[in-house]
């Protein structure tokens, strides 16, 4: 499907096309197997680094592409048209982990970690816990300063990329008496004493993307591995997730487009009653509506990303994009299964996988209700509502 040329510069279009070609040639042949087995094909991760999509915004001085947030979003979208599981690996790496390092790390931390993040190290963002989901600041993980190190104790749940990651941004509270103002972000390497990766979740969708528990038992972290400032982790968490939501919107956008592309090919290959299915007016109206939904999601995701790159306020637009794109992904993937009929319900076609993968879009990096709450609060501010 073509899109207005005004949506992309020539460089952006070239980049997007290169990632799309990679997704179709290198990811697509493994997508069903990875979904079935519940893990990534090991060779794919080095190829993602070689492609240059694991450090899109990281400056060239640290080995990155030195490109834009918008290009990172294009990479996430393009990969998701084939396999949202691979897409979310790139999403978390760029919009959460690299983004947080670029904004909050010291120069010494940048020198230590950013080159590795562009060459070989996958990263994870460890905020959620058993009792800390939408209420992100109810976390129970604790950090205590002991001599020349911090010691962390607690457990994290639902941590994306955990099986593959070498670096984890872990949030812990150094002083629970201060509430959320005690929350601090730590840079935790996989090999640190007391750190381990626990159970891998057996999920409905995005099955190849590892989602695991992290176990911190007297985990020793150097004093210099605080990200930002002690007690300012809550700000890092909020501001990073605001940008991460645009990444999830891009993932859901790509998913919807991928499902739609498969269904449209089927509608114009399959005949019933002497004509192609795509020529029946009843179906035409339905797939036209799907195309409108996808394009509306694309415009919202791109707008939020452009605002972020321009240094303009984007929090409301990011929440809207994530909310809408996740709804569109679920609706379009469901409709595409119906377009294909019985075969759409089988694993011979990728449509049922797209449908399963879509469900997570309304849940992670802020549920749909949390997005609505954010949008409503910002609208109240826009319209001068009183408390």
Of the candidates 260, 338, 346, the one whose C-alpha atom is nearest the C-alpha of residue 298 is 260
Q: Could you tell me the CA-to-CA distances from 368 to 125, 335, 387 in Å, in that order?
A: 20, 21, 24
Please list the alpha-helical segments (H only) found in the chain.
10-22, 28-37, 44-51, 69-80, 84-91, 99-104, 107-119, 233-267, 281-309, 315-340, 351-358, 368-382
Pairing of strands 149-160, 211-222: antiparallel
Query: Residue 163, exposed/middle/buried by CB under 10 A (0-12, 13-18, 19+)?
Result: middle
- Separation CA 94–CA 26 (nearest Å): 20
- Any idea what the Cα angle at residue 363 is, between residues 358 and 368, rounded to 5°? 100
How far apart, in whole angstroms, are the C-alpha atoms of residue 308 and residue 299?
A: 14
d(CA 254, CA 332): 11
Is 365 labeled as catalytic in the residue annotation? yes
Angle value at C-alpha 169, between 166 and 173, nearest 5 degrees: 140
Given the residues 77, 164, 327, 365, the one annotated as active site: 365
Distance CA 40, CA 90 (A): 13
Angle between the 281-309 and 69-80 helix axes, to the nearest 10 degrees?
A: 150
Q: Residues with catalytic annotation?
A: 365
């Amino acid at each position: 499907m073509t899109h207005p040329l005004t949506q992309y510069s020539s460089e952006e279009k070239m980049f997007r096309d290169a990632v799309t070609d990679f997704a179709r040639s290198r990811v697509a042949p493994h997508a069903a197997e990875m979904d079935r087995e519940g893990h990534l094909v090991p060779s794919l991760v080095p190829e993602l680094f070689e492609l240059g999509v694991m450090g899109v915004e990281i400056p060239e001085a640290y080995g990155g592409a030195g490109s834009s947030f918008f290009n990172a979003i294009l990479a996430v979208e393009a990969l998701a048209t084939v396999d949202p599981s691979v897409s979310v690996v790139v999403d978390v790496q760029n919009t959460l982990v690299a983004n947080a390092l670029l904004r909050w790390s010291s120069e010494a931390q940048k020198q230590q970690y950013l080159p590795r993040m562009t060459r070989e190290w996958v990263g994870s963002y460890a905020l959620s816990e058993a009792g800390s989901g939408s209420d992100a600041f109810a976390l129970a993980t604790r950090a205590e300063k002991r001599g020349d190190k911090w010691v962390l104790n607690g457990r994290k749940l639902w941590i994306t990329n955990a099986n593959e990651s070498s670096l984890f941004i872990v949030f812990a509270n150094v002083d629970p008496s201060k509430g959320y103002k005690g929350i601090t972000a730590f840079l935790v390497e996989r090999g640190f004493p007391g750190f381990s990766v626990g159970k891998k979740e057996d999920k409905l969708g995005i099955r190849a993307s590892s989602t695991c528990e992290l176990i911190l038992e007297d985990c020793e972290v150097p004093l210099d591995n605080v990200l930002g400032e002690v007690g300012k982790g809550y700000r890092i968490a909020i501001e990073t997730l605001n940008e991460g939501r645009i990444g999830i919107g891009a993932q859901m956008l790509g998913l919807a487009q991928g499902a739609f592309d498969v269904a449209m090919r089927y509608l114009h290959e399959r005949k019933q009653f002497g004509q192609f299915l795509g020529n029946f007016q009843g179906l035409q109206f339905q797939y036209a509506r799907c195309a409108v939904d996808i394009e509306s999601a694309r415009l919202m995701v791109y707008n939020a990303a452009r605002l972020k790159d321009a240094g303009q306020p984007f929090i409301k637009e990011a929440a809207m994009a994530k909310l809408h794109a996740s709804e569109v992904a679920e609706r379009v993937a469901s409709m595409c299964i119906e377009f294909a009929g019985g075969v759409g319900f089988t694993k011979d076609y990728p449509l049922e996988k797209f449908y399963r993968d879509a469900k997570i879009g309304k849940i992670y990096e802020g549920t749909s209700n949390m997005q609505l709450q954010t949008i409503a609060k910002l609208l109240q501010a826009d319209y001068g509502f009183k408390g």
